[in-house]
A and B are shown apart, each in its own frame.
Chain A
């Protein structure tokens, strides 16, 4: 694990390392220290610190433009052209689920799930993953033959077949209809409890964050503004005591006038 940088000065180089098997017991799966992306008044991230424990489900909430996608892309190593500094430690096996399913249109469902897999039994694993997301028998289909929800399930299968230690999800259900989104929440909960990756879910949906995560981090103006732990009994039932209070609390943190907003 790389050293903690001394301060938040903007001159430090940006470091992104993969800790892999070197991580000892009790060490966090993800550790971010003093992360800065974009400098000056237009800075997107202005010194973010974040740890995610093994198997922990963290939801990253925030209004549009608060930098939550920038943070996720930094963790995924997808921000080559963005200036910045800070230290990021992530495990070896990281999977990303995007808002769009991002399936290659010229490859079959099975081909999309096995994309980049080097195992000799990649097909077997992919079939098992597809069965897990309820798409057994659709291996030979083209992506355009699937519904939006089914395409996103293929994307989930593609990310889980790699047995990730960290799953990064950038508003994965944002483009789905409300009914499909609820079903996908259930599916994601099952998959996460079966595979136990650490998860960072970027969302702007407070209810989604409460329903799925162990901990909610609210980002505001490129800084961690609020952190709330979600008790298991609150996350599993909307009528649980404390659910409404947490919801109001988070909405207030997001700058929504709770008394004016009718939901």
Chain B
């Protein structure tokens, strides 16, 4: 009796081009996750909002004295770019937000590390930070103006003070949430203090840090608006404040649009970095 021969297809089934036209009948269960990620899907919501605004303006439902038409705002942007005012103010605003964000991240992350890794650090740092958290950042502005005047130091410092709190809180929580089993592991493989921080603590606290960073970036823009509208002679906020005195709704709306775009862009960038840095995570976000 000869052994039965099994005919194997020359091409693996999953690569077989002939499979393209075949039936694919299968029972489908209900999928509970949000499904596959689609590129640029996040643009849908903002686009719908823009469409609604355009439609309301075009049909006359929206009085231009209350909210300028989208095309007027675009035209205003063109004019302000042509005479250089928009770029100039944008650059100054971006510099303030960037500096404040940078110092806030450094201070917040360092404090979180010290407080998370030593009991003495926690005893000295955590209390004051919680107190700072309870005081609205903008309530400090009068004092900061008395101390530092109304120049750039005060503005950057206000942003820094707003930024470091969420960075500290989330990084600290991430750090304290590191599984004790990994600490034991670090000991059994003979990691030193520095190796432990580099290999276990920092990567373990990274998800918390990124969560804090997203709050911080949004917070930086919020603080920026306030400092630029209170005491300023430059920046997007100043440009809008000036427009208010002249009743130029179009420039105010343009400023709002610029803030919106900046906020959306910076959050997108943070999320992109986060996805790259945390590619080891397997979550619902995908």
Q: Indicate whether A and B interact.
A: yes
CB-nearest residue of chain A to B179: A102
Cβ contacts under 8 Å, B199 to chain A: 104, 107, 115-116
Asked whether any CB of chain B lies closer than 8 Å to the CB of A20, the reply is: no
Main DSSP-derived SS at the A contact region? loop
- Let me know if A116 and B280 touch, CB within 8 A: no
Asked whether any CB of chain A lies closer than 8 Å to the CB of B188, the reply is: yes
Stretch among B15-23, B46-54, B122-130, B200-208 lining the A interface: B200-208
Partner of A106, one of B188, B190, B195, B204: B204
- Let me know if A144 and B181 touch, CB within 8 A: no
- Let me know if A144 and B188 touch, CB within 8 A: no
- Let me know if A102 and B185 touch, CB within 8 A: yes
**Using a CB-CB cutoff of 8 Å, which residues 21-49 of chain A contact chain B?**
none
Asked whether any CB of chain A lies closer than 8 Å to the CB of B153, the reply is: no
Asked whether any CB of chain A lies closer than 8 Å to the CB of B187, the reply is: yes
CB-nearest residue of chain A to B206: A106
Q: Are A77 and B182 CB-contacts (below 8 A) given A104-B200, A107-B203, A144-B280?
A: no
- Let me know if A106 and B280 touch, CB within 8 A: yes
Partner of B182, one of A96, A102, A117, A144: A102
Q: Separation in Å of the B135 CB from the closest CB of chain A?
A: 35
Cβ contacts under 8 Å, B206 to chain A: 106
- Let me know if B191 and A116 touch, CB within 8 A: yes
Q: Are A78 and B184 CB-contacts (below 8 A) given A116-B189, A144-B280, A162-B189?
A: yes
Asked whether any CB of chain B lies closer than 8 Å to the CB of A158, the reply is: yes
Cβ contacts under 8 Å, B281 to chain A: 105
- Let me know if A98 and B200 touch, CB within 8 A: no
Q: How large is the interface on B (under 10, 10 to 19, 20 to 34, 35 or more residues)?
A: 20 to 34
Docked CA distance A258–B195 (Å): 51
- Let me know if A116 and B186 touch, CB within 8 A: yes
**Using a CB-CB cutoff of 8 Å, which residues 35-62 of chain B contact chain A?**
none
Fill in one digit per residue for A74-110: 1 if any B CB lies within 8 Å of its CB, else 0: 0011100000000000000011101010101111000
- Interface-central residue, B182, B187, B190, by most chain A CB under 10 Å: B190
CB-nearest residue of chain B to A73: B184
**Using a CB-CB cutoff of 8 Å, which residues 186-230 of chain B contact chain A?**
186-191, 195, 199-200, 203-204, 206
Q: Are A142 and B188 CB-contacts (below 8 A) given A98-B181, A107-B203?
A: no
CB-nearest residue of chain A to B183: A78
Docked CA distance A100–B182 (Å): 11
Partner of A116, one of B181, B184, B195, B282: B195
Docked CA distance A155–B195 (Å): 19
- Let me know if A76 and B188 touch, CB within 8 A: yes
- Let me know if A106 and B189 touch, CB within 8 A: no
- Let me know if B188 and A96 touch, CB within 8 A: yes
CB-nearest residue of chain A to B184: A78
Docked CA distance A117–B186 (Å): 11
Q: Are A105 and B280 CB-contacts (below 8 A) given A77-B187, A94-B188?
A: yes
**Using a CB-CB cutoff of 8 Å, which residues 157-179 of chain A contact chain B?**
158, 162
Cβ contacts under 8 Å, B182 to chain A: 102, 104
- Let me know if B184 and A115 touch, CB within 8 A: no
Cβ contacts under 8 Å, A142 to chain B: 279-280
CB-nearest residue of chain A to B277: A106
CB-nearest residue of chain B to A111: B199
* Chain A to chain B contacts (Cβ below 8 Å), 7 pairs: A107-B203, A115-B186, A115-B189, A116-B195, A117-B189, A142-B279, A142-B280
